[in-house]
Amino acid sequence: MPKKRASQSKPAPTLRKRTELGHSRDRFNDLYDFAPVGYVTLDDDGTVIEASLTAATMLGVERNRLVGRKFTRFVAPSAQDTLYLHRSAVFDCDEKQACDILLRRADGTQSFARMETASAIPPRTRGTAGARSSTSTGARRLRKSWPA
């Protein structure tokens, strides 16, 4: 009787690991996109580099119209200073920062939201380029005035 090759009898470990990683990535993407809060990742200049579907819905724009734009565009003029001070605090320390901020949807309506922000890069390694922060906007408060 001919011997079976290992690759014929069971999947190669590399293929199995790739499949597991793919499933894990898919689960993460689902959690990120469909979480009850909106997630936005900003670069050090305040440009949106990544956004969840929930965040885009809360702000009343398609995700592709949110990514690449300054987040300040979605903050009411009266809250620009609050955002500036909040982001400055994030880059000055290791701890998560929080504030209430007045956001402005694409259709012009406004609503308060709770922002909780943490830098993705430790303070000792932050430079002007490459600093990132992830911003989470509480959906419960937004849903009161912004139906999703």
- Sketch out the chain's domains with CATH numbers: 36-143 (3.30.450.20)
Strand partners, 138: none
Residues with Cβ within 8 Å of 137's Cβ and at least 6 positions away in sequence, in order, are 37, 38, 40, 55, 58, 103, 113, 114, 115
Strand partners, 116: 98, 136
What is the chain's pLDDT, residue by residue, as a tens digit (148 residues)?
A: 555 555 555 556 787 778 877 777 767 667 777 788 888 988 888 999 999 999 999 999 999 999 999 999 999 999 999 999 998 898 888 788 999 999 999 999 998 999 998 887 655 444 333 333 344 444 333 333 333 3
Among 74, 98, 104, which Cα is nearest to 86's? 98
